Structure 1
Amino acid sequence: MLNIADTLRQWCREGRSFALATVIQVSGSAPLPVGTALAVDTDGTAVGSISGGCVEAAVYELCQHVLAHGGPPVRTRFGYSDDAFAVGLTCGGEIEVLVQRVEPAAEPHLVTALQAVLAGRPTAVAHIVDGPGELVGRTLHVSGEGPHDGTLGSGSEDRQVVAHARALLRVGRTARIEVGGDADTCPERLSVLVHTHAPRPRMLIFGAVDFAAALSQAGRFLGYHVTVCDARPVFTTATRFPYADEVVTDWPHRYLAATETDVRTAVCVLTHDAKFDIPLLRLALTLPVGYVGAMGSRRTHDHRVDLLREAGVPEEQRARLHSPIGLDLGARTPEETAISITAEIIAHANRGTGRPLSHGTGPIHRPEQPLPGLAMVP
């Protein structure tokens, strides 16, 4: 639902009832991910999408029915159809959709959550999508910091969901989780979809070179908060890197030691200079960041690995280094190289192979990997 937060907040502010259709489960090559939503208000205005067009008309009609007749939330599935006049997905996948009526006055915490999203603050909305009928459709707002709003039914269930929601916020993922089923503490088994809005992941580019200018533009396009850092002030200027969110003049390893990183952070080392590279990579390879890559020829890479070994960097840390950086696209220009690097970052984050899709078989979209400690619905 957070994909249409601006319109939903406006409707909530106006006290306008609406039907909310949410993708709660996906299998195969479905067009849009879990958590994507479409909403219809009492005037028939629709916003959002759940399938890119395949089943929108059928979902719109279901939303209008729920608005007109009320009743409990409705779950429905859409699968593959090769009939041009039938309702179904043409991509071969399957989606499950939950449609419910939302009365803004009854869920003030939802308004708070939508306002937080639009303000750019870390926010999660936990949404019961399966369980006892009277609980399905309930929501709970979990802020990145501070208390939560609303309730899913009991204090013990709320505590479990809040802990899971904050774990998902840290990695910036929307996911469906299972909680409860414990006769002593949480007797009701609940399936909860946790919608998350996390700050933009960071891309840290070290080396104020032409490749960094192109990579900062590609990173910005992909939604990263981009920082370009170099120790040489004559090259490290905002004018040279207009797409970077930050341009920092500092020694790379010193800046990395002082800045915040997380499991979504991509570290891209483009300096080609051992006096910068080695101290920086020694530190970067110890951090729980998502990606560490370094530019250079194969000869440069071999020499760099020797220096890291001499500096005491263990094999398991050296194995994390993506070098030479990027996928083999035959890239030559800075712009092509930026696509090569970002393609490798995407493939690494999603456990992709980097091979042409035409050379493979099976579903195009892989299921997301479960997080440690979370009972996630596949």
Structure 2
Amino acid sequence: MLDLLPELRDWLDDGRDLAVATVVSVGGSAPRGPGAALAVDRSGAVVGSVSGGCVEGAVYDLCAQALESGDSALERFGHSDEDAFATGLTCGGVLDVLVTPVRADSPVRALMRTALDAVDRGEPVALARVVDGPPGRLGATLLVHGDGSTAGGLGVHDDLDRTAAARAGAALDAGRTGTVELSPDGSHCPGGLTLLVEAGAPPPRMIVFGAVDFAAALVRAGKFLGYHVTVCDARPVFTTRARFPDADEVVVDWPHRYLRGTRTDPRTVLCVLTHDARFDVPLLEVALRLPVAFVGAMGSRRTHTDRERRLRDAGLDTEELARLRSPIGLDLGGRTPEETALSIAAEIVAARRGGTGRPLTGTRTPIHTPAPPRPAHSTGRPRLPEGVARTAS
């Protein structure tokens, strides 16, 4: 839902009644993941998408019904071998969708507005909503800020709110949206209550070291993928805003010094394009010991062999060196800066999503690979209450 900023915020400012359909969980080859949303207002205007088109019409109708009834609903859309073009996903997946009315008298309205405002300011915030639990609690919402403060509540037990806030905070740290299963008494053990936790965190960072032509193309690719992109190089003559107009930040500093002092997190991507040992070795000494998502370095295989030797001499062990992706990028046969940037971006996506980088033609592996494993207390898909499943037939 949080990905519909600024449209939802404008609708709330206008005082519109609306309903929001949010993907709770997916199975098989569903086209969009948890958190994807579609919203409908009283006039019938619509923004967003939950399936890329497969079930949009049926979800639209559910939103209209929720606006009239004022009740939340959880629906399942699936695929039938007998009729692939019934109300379901022709790609063969299964989609669970939570539909929440947001009328003028709805308590979730203020929470939603607060969450959208926080996302707009770049502040971390999470929404935890009941998608399976005690009667009458479907759609109950707890808002959790990055500092741990909360608003709203799940309305079952105070301990549950505290546990849900802790789990939402963990999801926020990782920038992940998904379901978690808890007990209504607030214990972490699964026990009949499932929450959808939507993490609204600032964009992940991509830091590109080396103010070279390849970097300019990679900056554009990084922005396209949704990263907050920084370019860093110690040479002021090359490290200018004019050369990197698409970057969010252009920093003149020694790369290793900048990396030691800047903010990184488990979503951060580090791309080293300098292929100069004076810069690379001290930078990678720092980078390979940080809990970041990706560390890649440009250079020939000969350069990589020399770089690896220098890093071993500097004290890095085998496990740390194994994190280095070098030469950076997938083998696409590209030569231009743009083609090289594409190969690097492709490797980053594959590393983040668990892809192989192989052509889909001729393979029988799933097109949409499963999300990385969740913590031990989470569940892949919520158990649906009796009577709310919808499967094409």
Identify the TM-score tier after normalising by the shorter chain.
over 0.9
> What is residue 289 of structure 2 aligned with on the other side?
286
SS of residue in 1 equivalent to 2:114: helix
**1:77 aligned residue:** 76
Cα deviations across residues 304-356 of structure 1 (Å, max 9, x unaligned)? Answer: 11111111111110111101111111111111110111111111111211111
Task: Look up the match of 1:119.
Answer: 121
1:190 aligns with 2:189: no
Aligned to 1:137: 139
Q: Output one character per residue of 1:189-247: Cα deviation in whole Å (capped at 9) or x when no partner.
A: 31100111111111111111111111111111111111111111111111111111111
Displacement of 1:12 in angstroms is 3.1
- The 1:302–1:188 alpha-carbon spacing in structure 2 relative to 1, beyond 3 Å, is closer
CA-based RMSD of the aligned residues comes to 2.1
* Aligned partners of 2:162 and 2:186 also within 8 Å: no
Question: Which of structure 1's runs of 4+ aligned residues deviate more than 4 A?
Answer: 81-85, 181-188
1:328 alignment counterpart: 331
In 2, the alpha carbon distance for the partners of 1:322 and 1:62 equals 46
Query: Where does residue 16 of structure 1 map in the other structure?
Result: 16
Q: Distance in 2 between matches of 1:284 and 1:183?
A: 39
Q: Distance between the aligned counterparts of 1:226 and 1:319, measured in 2? A: 25
1:173 alignment counterpart: 176
Q: For residues 241-320 of structure 1, what are the structure 2 equivalents within 5 Å?
A: 241-320=244-323
Change (3 A) 1:56 1:183: closer
What is the distance in 1 between the residues matched to 2:85 and 2:352? 38
Q: Deviations over 1:271-308 (max 9, x none)?
A: 11111111111111111011111111111111111111
**Using a 3 Å threshold, how does the CA distance of structure 1 residues 283 and 93 change in structure 2: closer, same or farther?**
same
Q: Which SS does the other structure have where 2:40 is aligned? A: strand
Give the direction of change, closer, same or farther, for the CA distance of 1:28–1:209 in structure 2 (3 Å limit): same
Question: 1:190 & 1:261 partners in 2: Cα distance?
Answer: 34
Count of aligned positions: 377
The answer to which of 345-354 and 54-63 deviates more is 54-63
Show the counterpart of 1:363: 366
User: Alpha-carbon deviation of 1:135?
Assistant: 1.0
Mean Cα deviation higher: 1-10 or 109-118 = 1-10
Please name the residue that 2:3 is paired with: 3
On the 8 A contact 2:2/2:200 being kept in 1, the answer is yes
Displacement after TM superposition at 1:373 (Å): 5.3
Residues 124/293 of structure 1: CA separation in 2 closer, same or farther (3 Å cut): same
Shift of 1:46: 2.1
Pairwise CA distance, 1:185: 9.3
**Equivalent position SS for 2:22:** strand
Aligned to 1:339: 342
Aligned equivalents of 2:223, 2:201: Cα separation in 1: 16
CA–CA separation in structure 1 for the residues paired with 2:373 and 2:188: 24
1:101 has 2:84 as partner: no
Paired residue type of 1:254: R
Measured after TM superposition, the shift of residue 181 of structure 1 is 5.0
Give matches, 1:197-236, under 5 Å. Answer: 197-236=200-239
Counterpart Cα distance in 1 of 2:189 and 2:216? 53
After TM superposition, the score normalised by the length of structure 1 is 0.94
SS of 1:39's equivalent in the other structure is strand
Offset from partner CA, 1:116-147 (integer Å, 9 cap, x none): 12233211111111111211111111111251
Distance 1:28 1:184, change over 3 A: closer
The two structures have a TM-score, normalised by structure 2, of 0.90
TM-aligned CA distance change 1:299 to 1:275, over 3 Å: same
Q: Deviations over 1:45-68 (max 9, x none)?
A: 222211111111112122222322
Secondary structure of the 2:16 match is coil
